[in-house]
Amino acid sequence: MKLPVIKHLTQFIEDNDEDYVIETIETLENLTEVPSLKDEELDVIGELISNMYGAIEVSKMMKEGTPKKEALNTFMKRVLGSIDT
């Protein structure tokens, strides 16, 4: 996951609607079923999906009243914490 990408996607959700990102995730998840995709291509799609889910989580925290910067930092700490364990 990349914080700049999640930050950008979070701004997109603020400016538009979360539904666009959810529909994009569904499309990308469906695309992973193409049998001819290479591992590298699947990795890129997976990274995009992860960043989009991250942006949705940050957006939810913001809707609950958490300031954007704090929501981003909290999310990334949670991700890094799950990697360390």
Which pLDDT tens digits describe the chain residue by residue (85 residues)?
899 999 999 999 999 999 999 999 999 999 999 999 999 999 999 999 999 999 999 999 999 999 999 999 999 888 887 765 5
Amino acid at 19: D
Q: What is the pLDDT of residue 78?
A: 87
Q: What is the pLDDT of residue 80?
A: 81
Q: How many domains is the chain partitioned into structurally?
A: 1
CA 82 to chain centre: 16
Domain holding 46, by residue range, is 3-84
- The region, left, alpha or beta by phi > 0 then psi within -120 to 50, assigned to residue 69 is alpha
In this structure, what token pair is assigned to residue 78? 């949670």
- DSSP assigned state of 59: H
